[in-house]
Structure 1
Amino acid sequence: MYMGIDLGTSSVKIVLIDEGGALIDEASSPLLLSRPRPLWSEQEPQAWWDAVQAAVGALKARRSLDAVVGIGLSGQMHGAVLLDDRNQVLRPAILWNDGRAGAECKELERSEPNSREITGNLAMPGFTAPKLIWVSRHEPDIFRRTARVLLPKDWIRLKLTGEAVSEMSDAAGTLWLDVGQRRWSPAMLAATGLSERHMPRLVEGTEVSGHLSSEAAALLGMRPGIPVAGGGGDNAAGAAGIGVVHPDKAFVSLGTSGVIFVADDILKKDPERAVHAFCHCIPGMWHRMAVILSAAATLSFAAHLSGAADEASLLAETEAAGLAAKTQSRLVFLPYLSGERTPHNDPTASGVLFGLDSTTTRADLGRAALEGVAFALADGLDVLEASGGALDALSVIGGGARSRLWGRILSAALQRPLTYHRGSEVGPALGAARLARTAASGASLDEACPPPPVSHVIEPEAELVEALAPRRALYRRLYSDLKSSFAASVA
């Protein structure tokens, strides 16, 4: 068996696959998010490790793990885990959806004028490098004591293997990587007051990065010495899980955040439109992404705000109300609950409900939330196609893939057919397990990472396409009208 560990924002998910790639079992353990101040988003790394142990324990309670011969890692990108010279955590990890480092992004690009050329990306507050400039300014003692910076999944790797290692796809999201050359950039590190000695060793996602230590094996109840693959950032690993490992293949991810991901065989940069250009977890490949910061998180927020029992209850109530144009309220939801990336790069943007009246129902709120995310992803699709050509087909992964209602809305907003694959809701964890198989057994990419069997396809519905078009136009006007007010509200 091969194990894939995905360190998400809301939970740790672990899957087991067999030698043929079939999903055998899965388990998860929840995580909490801390927002101690406006724009801040943090988690305690120890909580990640506790969740890994809990999820492995749940699997072990159902089956022996003696047959596991490879482990792969995936996880939330961009987080900053600061360690001292004894590998002790110095402060809570600053996460991908943290917006405090807006001023530091401008400082970084002033310090290194070639930043966008080196990294292929616009400096954004969620990326790792600006966070370290913020720490140097506001927590100088912590910065002085920082001996190493790790990304979230790579801190889990340190706990598993004792090795400080990262891989290309996750490292590309730090703004410290020369993305074209697939190596750390001395110039970008110097611009944040760091050097390569602060960085982990780099491998490709399909390579062995280390082996399960005796100490970790004892804690997890597994055999020591199991090889641990480089793995990938959550979206690159999700691509491996859905079979997007060849040029021009693409998918939509509906996790806590939302992503449209396109695989490329060359590096295609478009930082001015806030398109992410990163290394793939596959050697010799890159990818582009349009990223929105709140996808499933928007649905969770709407469920909490409206008093629904949970997201599933809100979805059921929304579906029962129907999607016919005559049932449509005038409610529009801007889902910028943690700021926004593509195409706005605006950490000050906030969520907005427009069009509330005395007839607004909970189902209206649910529908507006689903539509708002779909409109945000449609904005992302527009800029991706402007930088690299039309995308005719999209697969869907992530927890949001479970909802056919959301699929109908998303397909209509994107005006594209959406393909759903078996097991697509566990994409990153499945991809991590597939990368483990490649690293541990030498299986080829086509053997280890084929597209899973298709479960169903959702085609755009003409009536829904027509109904959503004016609402998307209003959605886009609202952001333009409110942009200056967003910035002023946090000044």
Structure 2
Amino acid sequence: MRMGGDGKIALVYDCGSTNLRVAAVNEEGEIVAQKSVYNSPRPQPGGKPGWLIWDVEEIWSKLCMLTREVLKRIDERSLSSVIVATWGADGVLIKRSGEPAYPAISWQCPRTQEVIKELVERIEPYEIFRITGYQILPFNTLLKWIWIRRNAPEAFKEAYTFLMMPAYISYRLTGEFHVEPTDASTTMAVDSAKRGWSPEMLDLAGLDEAFFPDWREPGEVAGYVTDEAGRRSGLRKGLPVIVGGHDTQFAIASVKASESEAILSSGTWEILALRMKSYLPSREAFENGALIELDVERGCWNPQFLMIASAVLEWIRKMFYSEVSEKPYEVMVSEAEKIRPGSDGITFLPSFFPGSGPTARYGVPGAVLGLGLKADRAHVYRAALEGLSCQLRLAAELMERSFNVRLDRIWVVGGGSRNDLWNRIRSDILLRKIVVTRFTEATVLGAAMTAFKGIGLFRSLEEAKRSLSYEPKTYEPLEENSRIYEETYRRFISLYEKLSAIYLR
């Protein structure tokens, strides 16, 4: 059955580092058809062990295949536009012909570690944060440029420009080059106050603004589907392609949150973010580990904390529930609901990626403490939900101190918003209201609304959001549980403080 026909449909290329998806979304924000396929970096041919790259031609081919499958399920007369949202920090040096001048280095590749020490000798880390809103992270795009300049200088001689991932896929659709602010703000090379390149940061990689294409804003028309792209993907020639960008920003923009309400995009990683109308790169925000990225709309910034989340729960599934072949997460939740709040004294420290998130300052890896002979896998899973919620509370407290806000409630979107038990635990531990909506696919929703704005269906994102029926569900803290969790949270913080003396020696 083909969906659509009366209203408009936007086609969203939702590209993550583990999954590529093409989704058809109608004006009500509903996904009417979608298809996805696995995505993963691969070892670089001829590179050192551990070097990882993206095969951009493979990604493009997969997206074309997915597009053809989705087009079979919709009325193509309803298709109004295409928009691309991808993960941040990665991109590709390309020649004028569009061929890569050097492989697209993955954010998971360790090679840039060697550049960090050199960088901090040239510029103070807080100065980087003041200019860019970014902490020094191994996957920052700027570090890749410096590494390539030093280790493969011929690549820059052959390169015409550099495209971030969403702009590269848009180029394959339209033949047009551009750079846009949401993904550019993940490079650690943008002057975030001015919403443009920072000459000082670019100079660290021996680059200047002339090397890059023109800036375009999300929601503008990037170009139109070419003959070649149409042959590969099945899209009709001349279909508008709307400027997209970083997936996180579309997820944040999809929610009707005020400046005193945070948005939690919960998936493999969690991002706790705000939409603010001022840029506040304070010393305290820097020391607390915050990031500040550019919003989908001008005049807004997205202060945020990045922390590991469902990747920890997936590790538990593999370790303790591998024999459960059908609906394993339903089994995990069902078992954990039988365990009392506080997990009988078991504390789970979820810092499986030390050096990231609100616990970064402690340098403590993941740990489970308080195990006894009566503990079982359900205890571990519930303790993990509680530990992740304690991590979130710490992030919320740091957010309030860093940006002088009081968070009234937190809107949760993404796959992690579907876990009812986790939402109840979040509310009890954070002592705040947790709100979820019927739209769990926030990146797709935000991108689709931006595309509809781009074709003139809505005058603004706010108008687009007013047209949607969110059907919010609110979780409020239960006093009895919250009293128990106060001790859980105190123990959580105390363990990090005490263990840091061991791991930071």
* TM-score (normalised: structure 1): 0.88
The answer to whether structure 1 residue 267 and structure 2 residue 279 are counterparts is yes
- Cα deviation, residue 43, structure 1: 3.9
Deviations 1:104-153 (A, max 9, x none): 34533442444232213332223221233344455556566555333222
Which residue in 2 is equivalent to 1:254? 266
Which residue in 1 is equivalent to 2:172? 159
- Cα deviation, residue 88, structure 1: 2.6
Which residue in 2 is equivalent to 1:302? 316
Which residue in 2 is equivalent to 1:234? 247
Which residue in 2 is equivalent to 1:473? 490
Query: Aligned AA for 1:88?
Result: E
- For the residues of structure 1 that align with 2:412 and 2:147, how far apart are their CA atoms? 36
- For the residues of structure 2 that align with 1:461 and 1:323, how far apart are their CA atoms? 17
- For the residues of structure 1 that align with 2:227 and 2:426, how far apart are their CA atoms? 47
Which of 444, 447, 469 matches 1:429? 444
- With 318-327 and 382-391 compared, the bigger mean Cα shift is at 318-327
Which residue in 2 is equivalent to 1:352? 367
Which residue in 1 is equivalent to 2:83? 72
Q: Report the 3-state secondary structure (helix = DSSP H, G, I; strand = E; otherwise coil) of the residue aligned with 2:79.
A: coil
- Cα deviation, residue 183, structure 1: 0.8
- For the residues of structure 2 that align with 1:349 and 1:197, how far apart are their CA atoms? 43
- Cα deviation, residue 428, structure 1: 0.4
Q: Do 2:350 and 2:387's aligned partners in 1 also have CA atoms closer than 8 Å?
A: yes
Which residue in 1 is equivalent to 2:212? 199
Structure 2: give runs of 5+ residues left out of the alignment: 1-8
- For the residues of structure 1 that align with 2:352 and 2:367, how far apart are their CA atoms? 9
Query: Aligned AA for 1:9?
Result: S
Which residue in 2 is equivalent to 1:410? 426
Structure 1: give runs of 5+ residues left out of the alignment: none
The change in CA–CA distance for 1:189 and 1:349 in structure 2 (over 3 A counts) is farther
Which residue in 1 is equivalent to 2:301? 286
The answer to whether structure 1 residue 60 and structure 2 residue 71 are counterparts is yes
Which residue in 2 is equivalent to 1:459? 476
Q: Do 1:273 and 1:342's aligned partners in 2 also have CA atoms closer than 8 Å?
A: no
The answer to whether structure 1 residue 29 and structure 2 residue 40 are counterparts is no
- Cα deviation, residue 418, structure 1: 1.1
Deviations 1:276-308 (A, max 9, x none): 11210112221211111x212222122112243
The change in CA–CA distance for 1:233 and 1:93 in structure 2 (over 3 A counts) is same
- For the residues of structure 2 that align with 1:186 and 1:327, how far apart are their CA atoms? 51
Structure 2 counterparts to residues 68-107 of structure 1, below 5 A: 68-89=79-100, 93-96=104-107, 101-102=112-113, 104-107=115-118
The answer to whether structure 1 residue 399 and structure 2 residue 443 are counterparts is no
| Larger Rg belongs to | 2
Deviations 1:46-75 (A, max 9, x none): 343244234323322322334211222212
Q: Report the 3-state secondary structure (helix = DSSP H, G, I; strand = E; otherwise coil) of the residue aligned with 1:28.
A: strand
Q: Report the 3-state secondary structure (helix = DSSP H, G, I; strand = E; otherwise coil) of the residue aligned with 2:215.
A: strand
- Cα deviation, residue 469, structure 1: 2.8
The change in CA–CA distance for 1:403 and 1:110 in structure 2 (over 3 A counts) is same
Query: Aligned AA for 1:171?
Result: A
Structure 2 counterparts to residues 433-448 of structure 1, below 5 A: 433-441=448-456, 443-445=458-460, 446-448=462-464
Q: Do 2:33 and 2:73's aligned partners in 1 also have CA atoms closer than 8 Å?
A: no
Structure 2 counterparts to residues 186-225 of structure 1, below 5 A: 186-225=199-238
* TM-score (normalised: structure 2): 0.86
The change in CA–CA distance for 1:404 and 1:138 in structure 2 (over 3 A counts) is farther
The change in CA–CA distance for 1:467 and 1:252 in structure 2 (over 3 A counts) is same
- Cα deviation, residue 369, structure 1: 2.6
Q: CA RMSD in A?
A: 3.0
- For the residues of structure 2 that align with 1:444 and 1:85, how far apart are their CA atoms? 35
- Cα deviation, residue 204, structure 1: 1.4
Which residue in 2 is equivalent to 1:372? 387
Q: Report the 3-state secondary structure (helix = DSSP H, G, I; strand = E; otherwise coil) of the residue aligned with 1:370.
A: helix
Q: Do 2:222 and 2:241's aligned partners in 1 also have CA atoms closer than 8 Å?
A: yes
- For the residues of structure 1 that align with 2:235 and 2:335, how far apart are their CA atoms? 47
- For the residues of structure 1 that align with 2:175 and 2:504, how far apart are their CA atoms? 43
The answer to whether structure 1 residue 175 and structure 2 residue 175 are counterparts is no
The change in CA–CA distance for 1:426 and 1:106 in structure 2 (over 3 A counts) is same
Q: Report the 3-state secondary structure (helix = DSSP H, G, I; strand = E; otherwise coil) of the residue aligned with 1:216.
A: helix
- Cα deviation, residue 436, structure 1: 0.6
Query: Aligned AA for 1:473?
Result: R
Q: Do 1:212 and 1:224's aligned partners in 2 also have CA atoms closer than 8 Å?
A: yes
Query: Aligned AA for 2:442?
Result: G
Sequence identity (%):
26
- Cα deviation, residue 314, structure 1: 3.7
Q: Report the 3-state secondary structure (helix = DSSP H, G, I; strand = E; otherwise coil) of the residue aligned with 2:67.
A: helix
- For the residues of structure 2 that align with 1:272 and 1:158, how far apart are their CA atoms? 38
- With 434-443 and 102-111 compared, the bigger mean Cα shift is at 102-111
- With 1-10 and 336-345 compared, the bigger mean Cα shift is at 336-345
Query: Aligned AA for 2:318?
Result: H
Query: Aligned AA for 2:277?
Result: D
Which residue in 2 is equivalent to 1:14? 22
- For the residues of structure 2 that align with 1:86 and 1:482, how far apart are their CA atoms? 54
- With 458-467 and 434-443 compared, the bigger mean Cα shift is at 458-467
- With 479-488 and 414-423 compared, the bigger mean Cα shift is at 479-488
- Cα deviation, residue 468, structure 1: 2.7
Q: Do 1:240 and 1:449's aligned partners in 2 also have CA atoms closer than 8 Å?
A: no
The change in CA–CA distance for 1:180 and 1:339 in structure 2 (over 3 A counts) is same
The change in CA–CA distance for 1:350 and 1:169 in structure 2 (over 3 A counts) is same
- For the residues of structure 1 that align with 2:347 and 2:41, how far apart are their CA atoms? 27
- Cα deviation, residue 315, structure 1: 4.4
- With 436-445 and 352-361 compared, the bigger mean Cα shift is at 352-361
